[in-house]
Amino acid sequence: MQYASVLRQISSRLQRINGIQHSFKVEDFVMPTDHENTLLISECGQDADLAICLQRDLLHELSGLSFPQDFSLQVFPRVSLLVEELSHFHFYCVNATEHRKISALEMEVQAEVDKFSFALDCLEELNLKNLEDQVFGILFDQLNLGDWVRDEERSRYQEAHQIARAFCRKLLRTEEDRAKMIQEYYRLPSEARFNPK
C-alpha cells in the first residue's frame, strides 16, 4: 500500500492531538473505492466490522505527502477528506472500547474539529500561525458537501458544521492551552459538545 505512510502520519497526528489510545491500525481497515469517502460500520451485538472507504484517486494524489512539511492552504481541502474519515474511525473505536454509544452528529462534529486542529498543529510546527484565520475560512465560511450526501443527511451536516464552527472559533481566539482544550472537547458527552459554554 503506497498510501499507508500518509494515512499513518495523519492518524498518529490525530491520536497525539486528541490523546487517543486504542490498538487498531487505520491501514488494516482501509478499502479504496471509486467514488465515496466514508466509514462503514456494521454492528452485530458486541461485534462490529469497520471499513474506511477512501477514493483511489485521493489516496494516489496524496500518497507521497509528508506532514507537516507538505501542508499548505492549497492541499488542505483534499487532505481534510482523509482527516475526516480517519477522525470518524478513531472516534468510533475510542467510544466503542468504552462501550459508549455515539450519534452520527457527534462523529461529524468531531471530524470538523479534527480537520481544524490537524491544520493548526501543522501550521504551528511550520511556524505559520499567521495562516490560522485562512484555514478557519476554508473550513467554516461555507459548507461544502460531497455528491454522495443524501438530501435527508444535509441537515445533520449543517448542524455539525455550526457546532464545530463555534468551538473552533473559540479555539482560534483563546489564550488557554489549545491542546488541553482539544483533548477535553474530545471526551465531552454529547450534551456539552452540542451546547458549548
pLDDT at position 122: 97
Average pLDDT over residues 71-80: 96
pLDDT tens readout for residues 133-177: 999 999 998 766 666 666 677 778 888 899 999 999 999 998 889
Question: At which residue does the C-alpha cell 472516534 appear?
Answer: 91
Quote the pLDDT of residue 156: 82
Per-residue confidence band for 44, with pLDDT thresholds at 50, 70 and 90: confident
For 90-135, write each residue's pLDDT tens digit. 999 999 888 888 898 999 999 999 999 999 999 999 999 999 999 9
| CA–CA distance, 80 with 75 (Å, rounded to integer) | 9
Maximum Cα interatomic distance, the chain, rounded to a whole number of Å = 48
Burial 154-189 (b: 16+ CB within 10 A, else e): eebbeebbebbbebbeebeeeeeebeeebbebbeee
The residue type found at 44 is C
pLDDT computed for residue 142 by the predictor: 76
pLDDT at 2: 81
- Asked if residues 53 and 39 have their Cβ atoms less than 8 Å apart, the reply is yes
* d(C-alpha 5, C-alpha 11), whole Å: 10
Q: Give CA–CA dist 79/59, Å, rounded.
A: 10
Using the predicted structure, report yes or no on whether residue 197 has a pLDDT greater than 60. Answer: no
Residue 13 has pLDDT above 60, yes or no: yes
Say how far residue 171 (Cα) sits from the centre of its chain: 16
112 closest CA partner among 57, 174, 161: 161
d(CA 52, CA 14): 16
Range scoring the smallest mean pLDDT among 21-30, 147-156, 179-188? 147-156
